[in-house]
Amino acid sequence: GIQVEQSPPDLILQEGANSTLRCNFSDSVNNLQWFHQNPWGQLINLFYIPSGTKQNGRLSATTVATERYSLLYISSSQTTDSGVYFCAVERLDSNYQLIWGAGTKLIIKP
Amino acid sequence: EPEVTQTPSHQVTQMGQEVILRCVPISNHLYFYWYRQILGQKVEFLVSFYNNEISEKSEIFDDQFSVERPDGSNFTLKIRSTKLEDSAMYFCASSVPGQIYGYTFGSGTRLTVV
């Protein structure tokens, strides 16, 4: 089956720093989404980005589908950005399920 | 912005009991899903549901689990005879056909089996 790998697994930064999170996937996909899981366990949808680049405030994402990776950029980090960031992809042969990476745990120190 | 609503947010149940987790998907969505996340692990697909029947299910979704859309708004996950290892966060999600806007997830129900 398709493999989704995220790096780095852990990241500790000072408030105000910038960061880049990476998601590699092993096969062609229909869909790719980035999620933020906050300390209460809630999944917050950040981007639906099967290809191209999107920006939302301090966050932006780029997916290069032909090279099977996606990047999530966080600029001017705030303590509220802490949590786990997940990449999830939808297999090309399935319209019904997302395959998830293991996540990047981000800690922003004040 | 439309939301997927899940209730309860936290449920504690005794081993062997049955639990029903409830979800209200976004009103114009037609595909519904359940995922689970055991503490500290990846999110895992359980089941997808469309047109009042299961579209796809994972190996996890065995006879212990069932889903139902009892009316026009609710979507439920029933877990029979709960086990300690069923303790997890359960997420409901919904999407439009083709998932052209991606999947919208609810806030989750944290199930603790004691």
Residues A94, B42: C-beta atoms closer than 8 Å: no
Q: Percent of chain A beyond pLDDT 70?
A: 99
Q: Quick one: how many helices (H) and strands (E) in chain B?
A: 0, 11
Rounding to the nearest 10 degrees, give the CA dihedral for residues A45, B109, B4, B100: 50
Q: What is the 3-state secondary structure (H, E, C) of B34-52?
A: EEEECCCCCEEEEEEEECC
Cis ω before A8 (30° cut-off from 0):
yes
Nearest CB neighbour to A31, from listed B33, B99, B108: B99
Nearest C-alpha neighbor of A58 from the set A108, A17, A89: A17
Quick one: tokens of B3?
Answer: 């939301």
Q: Please tell me the least confidently modeled range out of A68-72, A76-80, B67-71.
A: B67-71
Q: Give pLDDT, residue B34.
A: 97
Measured between beta carbons, the chain A residues lying within 8 angstroms of B89 are: 41
Q: Give pLDDT, residue A30.
A: 85
Residues B102, A48: C-beta atoms closer than 8 Å: yes
Q: How many CB pairs under 8 A join A and B?
A: 52
Query: Torsion-angle region of residue B84: left (phi > 0), alpha (psi -120 to 50) or beta?
Result: alpha
Mean pLDDT of B67-75: 90
Q: Which amino acid is at B4?
A: V
Q: Encode pLDDT of A32-77 as tens digits.
A: 999 999 888 889 999 999 999 999 999 999 999 999 999 999 999 9
Nearest CB neighbour to B102, from listed A31, A101, A103: A31
Whether residue A93 has pLDDT greater than 80:
no
Residues B108, A41: C-beta atoms closer than 8 Å: yes
Nearest CB neighbour to A48, from listed B43, B101, B110: B101
Q: Give pLDDT, residue B99.
A: 64
Whether residue B114 has pLDDT greater than 80:
yes
Q: Percent of chain A beyond pLDDT 90?
A: 79
Q: Encode pLDDT of B86-105 as tens digits.
A: 999 999 999 987 666 788 99
> Mutation test of the interface with chain A: which of B36, B42, B90, B100, choosing the one with the most A Cβ atoms within 10 A?
B42
